[in-house]
Structure 1
Amino acid sequence: MHNSVMKAWLESSHLAGANATYVEDLYELYLSDPEQVSEEWKRVFDGLPVQPDVVEQPHSRVRDYFRRLAQETKHSSAQVSDPEVDAKQVKVLQLINAYRFRGHQAANLDPLGLWKRPTVDELEPAFHSLTEDDLDETFNVGSFAIGQESMTLRDLHKALQKTYCGSIGAEYMHMTNTAQKRWIQQRLESVVGQPSFDSEHKHTFLAELTAAEGLERYLGAKFPGAKRFSLEGGDALIPMTKELIRHAGSQGMREVVIGMAHRGRLNMLVNVLGKKPQDLFDEFAGKHDETWGTGDVKYHQGFSADFATPGGDVHLALAFNHLTLKSLTRLLLVQFVLVKTLRR
């Protein structure tokens, strides 16, 4: 009898109270990686009773949480959060930032679905160690300008996909000016990348887009083989530019100066600045004045006109594309005379 009691005591002596801290440290090491403990201790921990659907958590994290909670409540009323929740919150903010940086790479830019692209792993919650169980948890959305401070991860992920992976890809995080980046973020994220236009605006955009495409089609059919630096593929430049000018005029802008290269320049001249199409066609047909020169000179010419906006007329000036040496010398001479005159 005495021997059996001593045997039982010896077999359980390692669980004595004096060894509690040591054993608990071993157990937490076992929870993180069972292979980190000796085979003898692994058999002991493997033999512990297991409750179904319950995941054992390290006690050190819980102790640290309550220790910090006690310290904070002594000196202030600030709320202390669970470190595990804090870690997931950081991951959620990293997910938001990933969409801002790389969302455009997964944007739906192929309406026919022919473009086979590799998936962007950073845009998936799993990449940031966020699990299916986290999808219905509520997190703070930080600077994501959606109009609310917190939302479930599931709804946040859908909002991010809608904002940055729709039919418009926004790439702007390379900009160094923080104010400019936040300006773009606020306007993209506040409407979840889905701007709303009334019927009148939509008809205006359609008419302007049709005019841009129609001019390119006509030039291609009427003057086949002629060098024309077509805008085809970038037709949206015309309604976009006109809307920018209309908005500028409503904000009090009175003059807009445009500088651009050859591609799309003729379309800009006709459909934005209002150059007569007949004059453009005459240039293609070679009916212009001999002093204009030859070749692609029609792409170099400047133009100016008034553009009607809801806030009043805006004067548009399309700068000359090329400057000859003679023109440059004349321009410098005029600037010199103006400077001398202002100094008097």
Structure 2
Amino acid sequence: MHESLMELLWSTSHFSGGNLEYIEGLFESYLVDPNSVSEEWRKCFDQLPRVSEGQSTDVPHSVVQEQFVQLGKNKFRFQPAAVSAAASSGHEQKQIKVMQLISAYQMRGHQHANLDPLGLQGRNQVPDLDLAYHQLTGADLDEEFSTGNLFFSKDVMKLKDIIAGLEKTYCSSIGYEFMYLVDTQEKRWIQQRVESSQSDPQYSHETRKNLLERLTAAEGLEKYLASRYPGAKRFGLEGAESLIPMMNELIQRSGALGAKEVVIGMAHRGRLNVLVNTLGKNPKDLFDEFEGKKLVNTSGDVKYHQGFSSNVMTEGGEVHIALSFNPSHLEIVSPVVEGSVRARQDRRNDTSGKTVVPISIHGDSAFAGQGVVMETFQMSQTRGYRTGGTVHIVVNNQVGFTTNRQEDVRSTQYSTDVAKMIQAPIFHVNGDDPEAVLFVTQLALDYRYEFGRDVVIDLVCYRRRGHNETDEPSGTQPLMYQVINKLKTTRTLYAESLVNDNVVTKAE
């Protein structure tokens, strides 16, 4: 009891009254621009609860104070100065067009985003994002307009700066789909998170080094298994290594938010890597399974279907991690995970879903093609089955077994479109941008905790080898694998980026 009380005091001592003015100043800066405060404070402010049920975002006090100052200055001037009606009308009409352009970026920016690490998809030319579509011209770029409901740092900006901010926010390595949500508070909450940082939070050197370390661990295991057991089936994670830092962040952040258990369901792709680098399975045990020295007494199943459980230490204390056993039916584990999580929550008398978090990892073609996915979604908000929201991760390697052409695979633009049936926001992210992956992971989990609803991360990546290690993929996808064979790994690209930014040296 004494130790837990001391831990509580240590974890909240910075909120004491003597620090009030300092913390208010930091929070003001955070509301205007999250990157203006340190990563530790940004994480703290990100996890604050909503102001009220009717208001999802806070308002900087400086804005309110400025309004009262202006009212005081103009208390004897009730009538605004006369302005040329023609001039006012012309600018107001352009302002409406600018607001339509902003709305187009928020709704369709994901179609123009740089999501494909292979560059085969290309960046779609979306007419709605063109100036001419909104009857604006290059002559308007230097004119100032109101930013409207954007959460940028200024209320008035030049049009060229507004467009630059929108391109960076909605058309870089992350594509957001959330404007179809019917709940305005949810939409505004997501808007505030992504627009205030323009999808580019400034992470500390330590965080970036940790990202590189996780990528190195993921790639290192795959290379070792490939060299030691050539030709053995393992359904490797090569091309999708960003899944490992994503899982690490989900577990660590869940623990910091109060979770005591995390239940994971996934298919075979990358399962061995998750077992070792996320759940901490002893690599020797895995090697013994490859060499036939160790058999699974419980099921006799293959090694890439096996379950596992372990305890992981997080900022909020120890968290129990359970990876469910998985049959060859790719998505049948999803309702099993939901049932396990609901049972664990009921046992803990947890009606809000804060203490047990479900994470479901899917393949892109299975997510779009298996009916059990839709059935599980349909039950996600019912009283008897809801779990406070599931974090869905689609490991989108852009090929289902041997089929990669969209018109041969599905009838929707994205494999994740089925999630729209329950108003789940969808965040598409380029797997070769680890910092974008980290940002989306934090956003998705915080959304889940804030609103208790499902959320989907579409990790757009690729498959460096065949469906399994005995397949030769260039026979069915020759053009794709011409690109893949020349492509540097995610870890190599990120390491080069950190060297260029003087975060690490080449020797490190």
Is the pair's TM-score, using the shorter chain for normalization, greater than 0.5?
Answer: yes
Equivalence for 2:205: 199
Distance 1:286 1:305 in 2: 23
Q: Give the CA deviation at 1:239.
A: 0.6
Equivalence for 1:147: 153
Amino acid at match of 1:209: L
The 1:111/1:303 distance shift into structure 2, 3 A limit, reads: closer
Equivalence for 1:228: 234
Q: Give the CA deviation at 1:176.
A: 5.1
Matched, 1:279 2:285: yes
Relative contact order, higher structure (CA 8 A, sep 6+): 2
Distance 1:174 1:322 in 2: 35
Amino acid at match of 1:103: G
Distance 1:286 1:172 in 2: 48
The 1:183/1:238 distance shift into structure 2, 3 A limit, reads: farther
Equivalence for 2:104: 98
Q: Give the CA deviation at 1:263.
A: 1.2
Distance 1:159 1:272 in 2: 36
Distance 2:309 2:296 in 1: 22
Equivalence for 1:44: none
Amino acid at match of 2:306: Q
TM-score normalised by the chain length of structure 2:
0.45
Matched, 1:305 2:310: yes
Q: Give the CA deviation at 1:88.
A: 2.1
Q: Tell me, what secondary structure is at the counterpart of 1:291?
A: coil
Distance 1:224 1:150 in 2: 60
The 1:252/1:275 distance shift into structure 2, 3 A limit, reads: same
Q: Tell me, what secondary structure is at the counterpart of 1:253?
A: coil
The 1:307/1:132 distance shift into structure 2, 3 A limit, reads: same
Amino acid at match of 1:140: S
Cα-to-partner distance string for 1:232-271 (whole Å, 9 max, x where unaligned): 1211111111112222222222221112222111111110
The 1:291/1:251 distance shift into structure 2, 3 A limit, reads: closer
Matched, 1:156 2:162: yes
Cα-to-partner distance string for 1:6-39 (whole Å, 9 max, x where unaligned): xxxxxxxxxxxxxxxxxxxxxxxxxxxxxxxxxx
Q: 2:248 aligns with which of 242, 245, 250?
A: 242
The 1:155/1:244 distance shift into structure 2, 3 A limit, reads: same
Q: 2:93 aligns with which of 87, 94, 113?
A: 87
Distance 2:235 2:328 in 1: 19
Equivalence for 1:316: 321
Amino acid at match of 1:306: N
Determine what percentage of the aligned residue pairs are the same residue. 53
Q: Which has the higher helix share?
A: 1
Q: 1:132 aligns with which of 98, 117, 138?
A: 138
Q: Tell me, what secondary structure is at the counterpart of 1:259?
A: strand
The 1:292/1:251 distance shift into structure 2, 3 A limit, reads: closer
Equivalence for 1:42: none
Superposed CA RMSD? 3.2
Asked if 1 retains the 8 angstrom alpha-carbon contact of 2:114 and 2:123, the reply is no
The 1:182/1:213 distance shift into structure 2, 3 A limit, reads: farther
Equivalence for 1:119: 125
Q: Give the CA deviation at 1:167.
A: 3.0
Q: Give the CA deviation at 1:84.
A: 3.5
Amino acid at match of 2:93: A
Cα-to-partner distance string for 1:259-304 (whole Å, 9 max, x where unaligned): 222211111111011111111111122222263555x632322211
Q: Give the CA deviation at 1:116.
A: 4.9
Distance 1:269 1:218 in 2: 15
Q: Which has the larger radius of gyration?
A: 1
Matched, 1:167 2:173: yes
Amino acid at match of 1:157: I
The 1:214/1:304 distance shift into structure 2, 3 A limit, reads: same
Asked if 1 retains the 8 angstrom alpha-carbon contact of 2:276 and 2:282, the reply is yes
Q: Give the CA deviation at 1:147.
A: 3.0
Q: 1:217 aligns with which of 211, 223, 230?
A: 223
Amino acid at match of 1:127: Y
Amino acid at match of 1:265: R
Equivalence for 1:262: 268
Cα-to-partner distance string for 1:55-103 (whole Å, 9 max, x where unaligned): xxxxxxxxxxxxxxxxxxxxx9699984443332222122112222332
Distance 1:298 1:175 in 2: 41
Amino acid at match of 1:313: E
Distance 2:281 2:194 in 1: 35
Equivalence for 1:45: none
The 1:117/1:194 distance shift into structure 2, 3 A limit, reads: closer
The 1:160/1:323 distance shift into structure 2, 3 A limit, reads: closer
Distance 1:301 1:84 in 2: 67
Alignment length (residue pairs): 254
Asked if 1 retains the 8 angstrom alpha-carbon contact of 2:101 and 2:128, the reply is yes
Distance 1:159 1:183 in 2: 18
Equivalence for 2:446: none
